[in-house]
A and B are shown apart, each in its own frame.
Chain A
Amino acid sequence: MVKTKCWATLLPATLLLLAACSNGNTNEPSGSASNAASPSGTASASANDGGSSASGLAPAKLTIVLYGDESDRMKELTKSKFQDIVKQEINAELEFQFLPWSEYGGGKTDLMLSTGEDFAAYTDSNYMAKSVAKGLYADLTPYMDGAAAADMKKTVDDNSFKAFQLSGKQYAVPVGNKPNSAEFYSVLVRQDLLEEVGMSSVSSLAELEQFYEKVHAAHPELIGYAGTDARRMLMYEYTDKNLYWLNDFLAIDESAQDDKIISWFETDEFKAYAGIMREWYEKGIVPKYAATNQPQLTSDWNSGKAMFWAGTAARPFEGAAAISQAVPTAKLVNYFLNRDLPKISRGTYSTAWFVSANAADPERYVMFFNLLQKNQELYDLFAYGIEGEDYTLDANGRMTRTATDELIPDWLMMNKNFMRFDTSVPDDFIATYKAWDDDAIISKAAGFTFDNSPVKNEETKINGVFSEFLTPVSSGFVDFDKNYPKAMEKLKAAGFDKYMAEYQKQFSEWYASQSHSQ
Chain B
Amino acid sequence: MPYKENRALLVSFYVAIGLFSLICLVPFVLAVSGSLSTEAKIAADGYSLLPRGFTLDTYRFMFSSKTEQIVRGYANSVMVTVLGTACSVLVTTAYAYVITAKGFRYRNFFAFLAYFTMLFSGGTLPWYILSTKYYHLDDTLAGLFIPYLLNVFLMYLQANYFRSIPHEVVESAQMDGAGHIKIFFRIMLPLGQVGLVTISLFYALQFWNDFYLPLMLVTDEKLFTIQYMMYYMMANIQFLASGNAARIGGAIVAPPLETAKLAMTCLTVLPIAVLYPFLQRYFVRGIIVGSVKG
Contact = CB atoms under 8 A, between A and B. Distances in A.
Interface string A10-32: 11011001101111110101010
A22 B231 CA distance: 21
A2 B133 contact: no
Nearest to B213: A22
A303 B44 CA distance: 6
A407 to B, nearest CB: 13
Contacts of B117: 21, 23-25
Chain B: number of interface residues, binned into ranges: 35 or more
A158 interface: no
Interface string A62-87: 00000111101001000000000000
Contacts of B98: 7, 10-11, 14
B94 interface: yes
Contacts of B43: 299, 302-303, 326
B155 to A, nearest CB: 10
Interface residues of A, number: 63
B125 A115 contact: yes
B221 A70 contact: yes
B245 to A, nearest CB: 8
Contacts of B282: none
B170 interface: no
Contacts of A351: 248-249, 251
Interface string B129-144: 1111111110000000
Contacts, number: 163
A92 to B, nearest CB: 19
Interface stretch (B8-16, B28-36, B233-241): B233-241
A22 B147 contact: yes
Contact of A68 (B40, B114, B253): B253
Given A17-B91, A122-B248, A114 B120 contact: no
A262 B129 CA distance: 46
A101 B149 contact: no
Contacts of B221: 70, 75
Interface stretch (B75-83, B177-185, B193-201, B267-275): B177-185
A103 B238 CA distance: 12
B231 to A, nearest CB: 7
Interface in B142-159: 146-150, 152
Contact of A23 (B95, B122, B135): B122
B202 interface: no
Nearest to B120: A25
B287 to A, nearest CB: 26
Interface string A220-234: 000000000000000
Contact of A24 (B44, B65, B124, B150): B150
A124 interface: yes
A68 B237 CA distance: 9
Contact of B129 (A13, A98, A115, A303): A115
A183 B117 CA distance: 52
Contacts of A302: 43
Contacts of B152: 23
B125 A349 contact: no
A21 B150 contact: yes
Contacts of A13: 94
A318 B241 contact: no
B278 interface: no
Contact of A25 (B116, B129, B181, B216): B116
Interface in B70-99: 87, 91, 94-95, 97-98
B173 to A, nearest CB: 13
Given A25-B120, A351-B251, 16 more contacts: A6-B179, A20-B131, A20-B137, A23-B127, A24-B117, A36-B133, A68-B236, A69-B233, A100-B231, A111-B128, A114-B125, A180-B250, A299-B43, A303-B44, A349-B249, A411-B253
